[in-house]
């Protein structure tokens, strides 16, 4: 038994508005939510008056290793990104660089209230690199779905997948198959990826349907021909699906990860936020690549909100700040395969919680708490962060050894810059 924690008198967004309430945390879980809860014997009490209490944000798609190459490629296009970052930068990453990059990304996420990430890792060609990636997620204390994408041969990949699923364990980390799929790999490999996920009983996350209408249609034809539609499959970006194709994804229990900042900065079509949700597809938000856009959820909620409302067909004006907050929390958890685990403030779920200050210029006064969280807050407002009941940020400061993590990140950045120049 750990010491109970009572978060008292905050304005709770669960993510629906509950009003002023207390949140009781016991043994890593949310034990009770409601006004004026009794203080259990020996409990630690956090005075949350004047604070907004939120579920921790869920980032449904991020290449965590790229924390080491933040900002290397602004003002870019997808093809330039693939050439530079995937083609020339990724091969320079040693295991220690992957650890530094993933840890740096995780600390950035936690600092800004993102308590769960789906890490789509396509930098791995050796077991040592994969171990460094998993270890960094463990070391950060973040909740993560480790999306494993391996460039080695089939036999190695199958054995490695099983080993890494065990290495993730069943605590904060889970494993997924990060499939190159028919958009980026050959069809034999794609078939093997889908079958491996079934065999392991893990989620598939794949960049499908964001690279032209022809590829989007070919992807569905691949799933049809091989009888591989799989519930819970996460389609990343998905910009080029038709409304009918989104209905098929919904019918088969699929989900979508939108990356509104990256998709609008690079040469993707408009983010599919509203079209995907209208078809009944659970749709989450994601940072994708901090090489070219910020990684905090406030930026992502705002990017989704403004791009959706600006749709040329005018159909996006029904998209609200509450929709953006739902995508960043409860809906994102569903997309990450963590429905019933995180993403909401309700008894029985993991105590992944964020307290936001509202007594700051640019946030005060709060007339509408959802608008405050979505349109006005930023990382400096994130005062306290809990993951599974464990405090990782308190009084506005991360409890991790940030100095050491940043020193490693600097050393890695220097190595990567030199090695990439030579590639």
Contacting positions for Zn ion (CB under 5 A): 288
**Of residues 263 and 288, the one with the C-beta less far from Zn ion:** 288
CA 420/CA 22 separation, integer angstroms = 51
Shortest separation between residue 298's beta carbon and Zn ion, angstroms = 20
**Of residues 133 and 358, the one with the C-beta less far from Zn ion:** 133
Q: Own/partner pairs for 14-19, CB < 8 Å, 24+ apart? A: 14/55, 14/344, 14/345, 14/346, 15/54, 15/55, 15/322, 15/325, 15/326, 15/328, 15/329, 15/330, 15/344, 15/345, 15/370, 16/322, 17/369, 17/370, 18/345
Shortest separation between residue 148's beta carbon and Zn ion, angstroms = 14
CA 406/CA 423 separation, integer angstroms = 25
Structure tokens at 314: 């005018």
**Of residues 105 and 358, the one with the C-beta less far from Zn ion:** 105
Most distant CA atoms of the chain, gap in Å: 63
Shortest separation between residue 237's beta carbon and Zn ion, angstroms = 7
CA 211/CA 184 separation, integer angstroms = 10
CA 89/CA 93 separation, integer angstroms = 7
**Of residues 236 and 349, the one with the C-beta less far from Zn ion:** 236
**Of residues 59 and 97, the one with the C-beta less far from Zn ion:** 59
CA 99/CA 106 separation, integer angstroms = 10
Shortest separation between residue 286's beta carbon and Zn ion, angstroms = 8
CA-based torsion, 322, 325, 329, 333: positive or negative: positive
- Number of H helices and E strands in the chain, helices first, is 15, 17
CA 208/CA 219 separation, integer angstroms = 7
Shortest separation between residue 239's beta carbon and Zn ion, angstroms = 12
The answer to whether the CB of 175 falls within 8 A of the CB of 148 is yes
Shortest separation between residue 61's beta carbon and Zn ion, angstroms = 6
**Of residues 45 and 80, the one with the C-beta less far from Zn ion:** 80
**Of residues 216 and 392, the one with the C-beta less far from Zn ion:** 216
What do you get for the CA distance between the two ends of the chain, in Å?
Answer: 53
Kindly provide the b/e burial profile for residues 257-289, where b requires at least 16 CB atoms within 10 angstroms of the residue's own CB: bbbbbbbbbbebbbbbbbbbbbbebbbbbbbbb
Shortest separation between residue 128's beta carbon and Zn ion, angstroms = 23
**Of residues 183 and 331, the one with the C-beta less far from Zn ion:** 183
Residues in contact with 354: Cβ distance below 8 Å, sequence separation at least 6, in sequence order: 53, 54, 55, 56, 57, 113, 115, 382, 384, 385, 386
The answer to whether the CB of 381 falls within 8 A of the CB of 360 is yes
Shortest separation between residue 289's beta carbon and Zn ion, angstroms = 6
- Which 3 state secondary structure label does DSSP give 116? strand
- Which 3 state secondary structure label does DSSP give 383? strand
**Of residues 288 and 383, the one with the C-beta less far from Zn ion:** 288
**Of residues 132 and 149, the one with the C-beta less far from Zn ion:** 149
Shortest separation between residue 62's beta carbon and Zn ion, angstroms = 8
Q: Which residue is nearest to Zn ion (CB)?
A: 288
Residues in contact with 367: Cβ distance below 8 Å, sequence separation at least 6, in sequence order: none
**Of residues 86 and 371, the one with the C-beta less far from Zn ion:** 86
Q: What stretches of 14-137 adopt beta strand conformation (E)?
A: 17-26, 29-34, 44-47, 51-55, 57-62, 114-124
Shortest separation between residue 173's beta carbon and Zn ion, angstroms = 20
Shortest separation between residue 88's beta carbon and Zn ion, angstroms = 17
């Amino acid at each position: 038994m750990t010491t109970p924690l009572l978060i008292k008198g905050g304005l709770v967004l669960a993510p629906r508005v509950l009003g002023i309430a207390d949140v009781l945390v016991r043994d890593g879980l949310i034990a009770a939510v409601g006004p004026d809860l009794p203080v259990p014997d020996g409990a630690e009490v956090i005075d949350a008056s004047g604070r907004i209490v939120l579920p921790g944000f869920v980032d449904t798609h991020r290449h965590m290793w790229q924390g080491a190459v933040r900002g290397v490629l602004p003002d870019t296009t997808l093809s330039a990104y693939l050439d530079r970052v995937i083609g020339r930068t990724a091969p320079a990453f040693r295991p220690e660089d992957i650890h530094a990059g993933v840890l740096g990304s995780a600390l950035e996420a936690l600092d800004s209230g993102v308590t769960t990430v789906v890490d789509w890792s396509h930098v791995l060609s050796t077991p040592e690199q994969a171990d460094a990636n998993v270890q960094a997620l463990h070391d950060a204390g973040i909740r993560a779905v480790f999306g494993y994408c391996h460039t080695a041969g089939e036999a190695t990949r199958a054995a490695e997948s099983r080993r890494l699923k065990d290495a993730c364990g069943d605590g904060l980390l889970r494993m997924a198959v990060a499939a190159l799929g028919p958009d980026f790999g050959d069809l034999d490999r794609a078939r093997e990826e889908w079958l491996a996920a079934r065999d392991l009983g893990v989620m598939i996350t794949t960049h499908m349907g964001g690279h032209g209408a022809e590829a989007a249609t070919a992807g569905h034809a691949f799933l049809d021909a091989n009888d591989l539609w799989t519930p819970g499959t996460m389609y990343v970006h998905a910009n080029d699906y038709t409304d009918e194709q989104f209905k098929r994804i919904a019918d088969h229990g699929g989900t979508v990860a939108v990356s509104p900042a990256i998709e609008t900065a690079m040469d993707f079509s408009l983010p599919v936020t509203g079209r995907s949700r209208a078809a009944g597809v659970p749709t989450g938000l994601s940072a994708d690549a901090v090489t070219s856009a910020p990684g905090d959820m406030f930026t992502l909620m705002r990017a989704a909100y403004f791009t959706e409302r600006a749709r040329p067909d005018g159909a996006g004006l029904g998209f609200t700040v509450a929709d953006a907050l739902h995508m960043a929390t409860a809906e994102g958890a569903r997309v990450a395969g963590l429905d019933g685990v995180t993403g909401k403030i309700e008894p029985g779920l993991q105590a992944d919680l964020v307290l936001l200050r509202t007594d700051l210029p640019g946030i005060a006064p709060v007339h509408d708490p959802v608008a405050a969280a979505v349109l006005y807050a930023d990382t400096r407002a994130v005062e306290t962060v809990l993951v599974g009941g464990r405090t990782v940020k308190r009084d506005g400061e991360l409890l991790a050894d940030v100095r050491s993590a940043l020193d490693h990140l600097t050393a890695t950045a220097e190595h990567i810059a030199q090695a990439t120049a030579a590639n």
